Each structure stands twice: as structure tokens, then as C-alpha cells.
Amino acid sequence: MKRVTIQSSRTYDCVIGQGLLEQLGMLMRAAGLQAERALLVSDTRVTPLYAAQAAASLEAAGYRCSMHVFEAGEAHKRLATVEGMYAALATHGLGRGDVIVALGGGVVGDMAGFAAATWMRGIRFVQAPTTLLAQVDSSVGGKTAVDTRAGKNLVGAFWQPSLVVADVDTLDTLPPAAFADGMAEVVKTACIRDAALLAKLEAKTPRGDAPELEAVIARCVDIKRAIVEEDERDAGVRGLLNFGHTVGHALERYSDYTLSHGSAVAVGMVVMARAGESLGVTVPGTAARLTRVLTAYGLPTHTDARPSDWAPLMMADKKRHGEKIDLVLLREMGDAVLHPIDVQEAIAQVLP
């Protein structure tokens, strides 16, 4: 088992290892969570796989556990689903001293976290991420969100969990496409801060190798920890985590969210590596290397959509300040920088 301690407005541990769902309740007690009641929140795919195990562990540790399940999928990441959580919180009588446990991928974590941030103006919550993406990225850092008609993740709160329990055994049941999605964020993390991690990923896939997965996830969490500790509220260096995301978000929107986040980010990273090379910021050959590793993990590296169609959607990026946008570029593998650029020039850069 590996443990990463994140020091932000709340200090909390992220524990990563095998067989941890069975110890969930005990780990929460060890982290000092003295709540009486716990609401276990999950989706319809994860519930039949892991909810019984998680609930039994909570009960065994003395929490009075109730369950709330909603329909799986990004389409259900909306306020109506959060309202369902509020109703469950009321029905089961959860108060200020109680705790929400999010069991599932980023969709469950983002919404259960948002419910925790807002229920009674904030109660504690625990993340038990079950996708690779959630284990390496969304469960750490305290960003919670829902999608609205105005756009994806535009409504949310910074609300740190009290504990993150990432059981790598749960990744065994992930469909290949969902695993690949998470690998896009793993490759992203390696690209921005850790060339050695990238070389390791090039040599061998961690899929199916629990100790290796544990090491890779812990490394990604530790990199995110360092960045988030420096910039909890996303005013500067945290922007580096957005490598590939400015283009990725535009592609996701353009596809009406039929393209997965990981696939969109994979394409976005290659576009940015090319743009960096043509701007003279990125070491030549970086885009080709990135293309090889993403392809090896079953991720796309180009899109048939015409850039003139999707590139203008970069205007809606949250990282835009007036006419400027901070692009994340690589100097070389493992070394990313924020590169402020005129939005129109950024759009021109991604056009062939």
C-alpha cells in the first residue's frame, strides 16, 4: 500500500493499493472520521460490482450506512442527479457531522463531492475511485462539478475530500476503453513532470500488474499533489494539468461529447506537441514520440474533424483571459510550461 499526504485547505491522505475496499471503513476510522452515518453514493454500473463490499466495510467499522444509486454515465452528471442525492441525504438524516462516500469513477466523485460541498454548507466526504482516471486525477485536488446547459463543469466548488481510498483491484473490471481513457491522463502527467515515468510506460503496460499499477498511480497522485499544493484554487501552475485539454475540451464539445475525454485529450496533446515544435518551444520529435505511446495504449492521435470547425470552440476555454489564453506546451518530455498566447494565434497554431 502506498500513501500520499496532500496538504491543502484540508490535509488528507490518498491511499493506493490492493484489497482496500474491504478496509474502507477501517481506513476512514484511522483517518479520524468520527461520523455516525455514511451515505454511500454510486452509479448503476459500479453498484453491483463493489457496493456490497464497501457497505459491509463501513458497517463493520461502526458507520450506519445508507446507499444512493444513480444512473451511470456522463449524461447523468447534472443538477437533477445532485438533487436526488440531497433527497437521500435528507431521508437518511445525514447532518453536519456525517460523511458521504463516493464509490465510482469521476462522474460519481465530482457529483458526490459537489453534494458534500453544498449539503448543509459542507459536510465531509471520502473518495473511493474505481476508474483509472478517477484514481490518478479526479479524486485528488478537490475540484467538484456538475454539467449544466451552459457547459460541462461550469458549476462546481473547491471541496477537498477527507480521504481517498484507491483500490487497484477494482480496475480489473474496467472495459479496455475506460482503461485507455485513464491512461491518457497518466501519459499527460508523465509528459508534464516525469520523463522517467514516460519511459516506463513506453517499456510496458501496467494493466494487469497490480504492484506496477499501484506504483504508477501513486506517482501520478504525488505529481498532482505537488502541483495542487502550490496552487489549490487553479490560479497558476495547476494549469499545467491542462496539457492537451484546451484542444481536448473543444473536440469533446464539437463531438457533442460522443468522443471520450481521454480520447479527446490524447488528440489534444499531440496537437499541442506539434504546435510547440512549430513555435520552437518543444524539442523536435516530441509529437512523434507521444503519438507512439498513445497509440500503444489504444488512444487516438488525430481527428478527422476539420480544425476550422472545432478550433474556434477553444474560445470558450476556462483558461482564457480576454484575448489571451495560456497554452500548456512541453519544452521536452517531463517539462511543461504555460505559454500565454493570443487566442486567435492559438487557433491559427492548431490549424494545419
Ligand X SMILES: NC(=O)c1ccc[n+]([C@@H]2O[C@H](COP(=O)([O-])OP(=O)(O)OC[C@H]3O[C@@H](n4cnc5c(N)ncnc54)[C@H](O)[C@@H]3O)[C@@H](O)[C@H]2O)c1
Applying CB under 6 A, which residues contact ligand X? 43, 45-46, 49, 72-74, 77, 104-108, 110, 130-131, 133-134, 137-138, 141, 143, 153, 170, 173-174, 178, 181, 261
Q: Work out the number of other CB atoms within 10 angstroms of the CB of residue 37.
A: 18
All 3 cell numbers of residue 220?
A: 501520478
At CB < 8 A and 24+ separation, what contacts does 62-66 make?
62/25, 62/29, 63/25, 63/28, 63/35, 63/36, 63/37, 63/38, 63/99, 64/36, 64/37, 64/38, 65/37, 65/38, 65/39, 65/40, 66/37, 66/38, 66/39, 66/40, 66/91, 66/92
CB of 338 to ligand X, least distance (A): 18
Q: Which residues pair with 103 in a beta bridge?
A: 42, 128
Cβ closer to ligand X: 182 or 307?
A: 182
CB of 260 to ligand X, least distance (A): 7
Cβ closer to ligand X: 72 or 215?
A: 72
CB of 184 to ligand X, least distance (A): 10
Cβ closer to ligand X: 164 or 327?
A: 164
Cβ closer to ligand X: 49 or 60?
A: 49
CB of 258 to ligand X, least distance (A): 14
CB of 62 to ligand X, least distance (A): 26
- Is the CB of residue 286 less than 8 Å from the CB of residue 276? yes
What is the DSSP code (8-state) at residue 78?
B
Query: Regarding beta strands 335-342 and 324-332, do their DSSP bridges make them parallel or antiparallel, or are they unpaired?
Result: antiparallel
Cβ closer to ligand X: 37 or 224?
A: 224
CB of 316 to ligand X, least distance (A): 15
Distances in Å between the Cα of 194 and the Cα atoms of 46, 250, 306 are 32, 26, 32
Q: Work out the number of other CB atoms within 10 angstroms of the CB of residue 246.
A: 24
Cβ closer to ligand X: 28 or 166?
A: 166
